[in-house]
Structure 1
């Protein structure tokens, strides 16, 4: 694979600083609008393939109500985002010695009324997830549409992160967080930068 250059909006030094100080970082205007538009089209054209999300080993739980579609190379536009995260992982490995080896990702759709209750993506180091990355790919969003990411940082401070279009929320996978109830369809790509080779 050819070398992948990170977008200029991905200020790696700032990302590393934010992760070190508070355990999360925000990347706004992550991609050119044309790419985001193509990504929205790929996502929405495949909504009929989405399925109810599970939490572990295929078990569907009442703590979440979103719908997902795992990303593979057949989803060519979304795969480009995964490759960007793989490139970012190399920088994070150098900074934190985090041992990230791969990235897994899925599209996520939260319809009106759907949510994801408080949880950790990697509780008690039970899996290889090191960092989680949520990319908001809807083209419009209003502050009263809900769907915010409610996150406790590494200093035990709580934050409400708005799902602004073209924003990436990157955070430690062991941090406690939830997706507040959406009042409008909310589209995103959720990805995990993993230190193991097992893709669930």
Structure 2
């Protein structure tokens, strides 16, 4: 099967419906081991084989405000484009998700940008938001994890802060902790949820992406950057 030409739209209808319901009810969705396994394996193989020079130190801010800050984050990233079968298969899957969410929730999602992320042992990303009200056009944040046989002892959890959450087995003082296990999908409203990545005890691989609105001005399309 050629994954680069697969949309996954049919087989993921129930998954997309569950994600939609979660977003309406809670503003976030956590779906363990939910990304199609063949796609997850393809993405993991690709990220492991990426040359080290394809990864760049991640910064904070955008455009002229972009800067490296070791106090805030220490991971490395590689932006995803249509230049290999794994990335093309991933982009097609997100296009199917985007179409479903727009049809179901009328979100007006216009485009998607994403990157591979590598957290070496000890790397972290302090508490932050992906977007601020009135200052950006990121609507939904998407995270997918590519780590096989990951246990709670390996660290590297994603922590989502939700003041509205009730205490449960995964929530402690409004902190929702997500183990970055193979194929786990996390989606949340970009403006609503502060989050952070705790230090990992071994190499940690993921994809982070954002569905965006269209901020075009005078017919000049605002592309992801």
TM-score by length of 2: 0.81
Query: Which residue is 2:103 aligned to?
Result: 94
RMSD, aligned CA = 2.1
* Residues 15-66 of structure 1: CA deviation (Å, up to 9, x unaligned): 1111111111122333443432222111111141101001123311231110
Question: Which runs of structure 1 show a deviation greater than 4 angstroms over 4 or more consecutive aligned residues?
Answer: none
* Residues 58-96 of structure 1: CA deviation (Å, up to 9, x unaligned): 311231110000000113202311221121112212233
Cα distance, 1:82–1:27 mapped onto 2, change above 3 Å: farther
Question: Structure 1, unaligned stretches of length 5 or more?
Answer: none
Aligned counterpart for 1:145 among listed residues 154, 161, 165: 154
Aligned counterpart for 2:187 among listed residues 161, 164, 170: 170
Cα distance, 1:191–1:40 mapped onto 2, change above 3 Å: same
Larger radius of gyration: 2
Q: CA deviation at 1:3?
A: 8.1
Say which is worse superposed, 87-96 or 173-182, in terms of deviation: 87-96
Aligned counterpart for 1:5 among listed residues 4, 8, 30: 8
Tell me whether 1:78 sits opposite 2:95 in the alignment.
Answer: no
Query: Which residue is 1:23 aligned to?
Result: 27
Is 1:9–1:30's contact at 8 Å kept on the other side of the alignment?
Answer: no
In structure 2, distance between residues paired with 1:186 and 1:79: 22
Matches for 1:33-112 after TM superposition, within 5 Å: 33-48=37-52, 49-56=54-61, 57=63, 58-62=66-70, 63-112=72-121
Say which is worse superposed, 27-36 or 137-146, in terms of deviation: 27-36
Question: Structure 2, unaligned stretches of length 5 or more?
Answer: 166-173, 215-221
In structure 1, distance between residues paired with 2:179 and 2:126: 17
* Residues 104-124 of structure 1: CA deviation (Å, up to 9, x unaligned): 010000011111111000122
TM-score by length of 1: 0.90
